[in-house]
Amino acid sequence: MSEHSVLVPVQSGTVIQDKLKYRLALVSELRLAGKSKLQISQILATEHDIVNERSGEPLSAATIGGDLRKLRQQWKDDAMVSTSAHLDRQYMELQEIKKVAKIVGELAVWLNALKEEIKLLGTSRDKLTVRHVDWRDEAADILRDGTITYDDMIIYGFDKELAVELLKRAGRIVEVAAYKE
């Protein structure tokens, strides 16, 4: 085996497809090793007997360039799939954190996970805030069981008006005056 040999698993397909996969694997390896199009062409010809089938000459720079374009697109596609899977995993982890935080009554943890979800999904407006209609209803559900009090929310950093609003949504207070200084 030469210093530029690569093992390519052979799977079903036509001979032409298998040759192309093999050539693309070699081109990829050589390009990642910093080789130029001309160097790649020469190495393919001398070490792997990959030449232009009509002329018997080394592959042209245009052919190697076409291979590199295919590879770049393949790398972009692979990166998109990988990124998408990573985002999906992060999203599911945030959903689990929110679920557990809701069960154990950790409003601050739940809200922080919501902030991270907003950042992950890019659904914030000009700046990230937690003053979105959808989260308030969910926060009110958490507050209904009574494990989190007005004082807890103030300790967690909520402003007084927001704490009162959430407690009102939860049906835990009807008289606002008792909570104002």
How does pLDDT run across 67-86, given as a tens digit for each residue? 999 999 988 888 787 888 88
55 is a domain residue: yes
100 is a domain residue: no
The pLDDT value recorded for residue 29 is 92
Model-level pTM? 0.44
Domain with 170 in it: 105-181
Say if residue 140 is in the same domain as residue 176: yes
Say if residue 5 is in the same domain as residue 77: yes
Say if residue 67 is in the same domain as residue 114: no
How does pLDDT run across 16-34, given as a tens digit for each residue? 778 899 999 999 999 989 9
Say if residue 4 is in the same domain as residue 74: yes
For residues 164 and 38, which has the higher predicted lDDT (pLDDT)? 38
Domain count, the chain: 2
Say if residue 49 is in the same domain as residue 110: no
90 is a domain residue: no
32 is a domain residue: yes
91 is a domain residue: no
Say if residue 2 is in the same domain as residue 40: yes
Residue 123 has pLDDT above 90, yes or no: no
92 is a domain residue: no
Burial of 93 (0-12, 13-18, 19+ CB in 10 A): middle
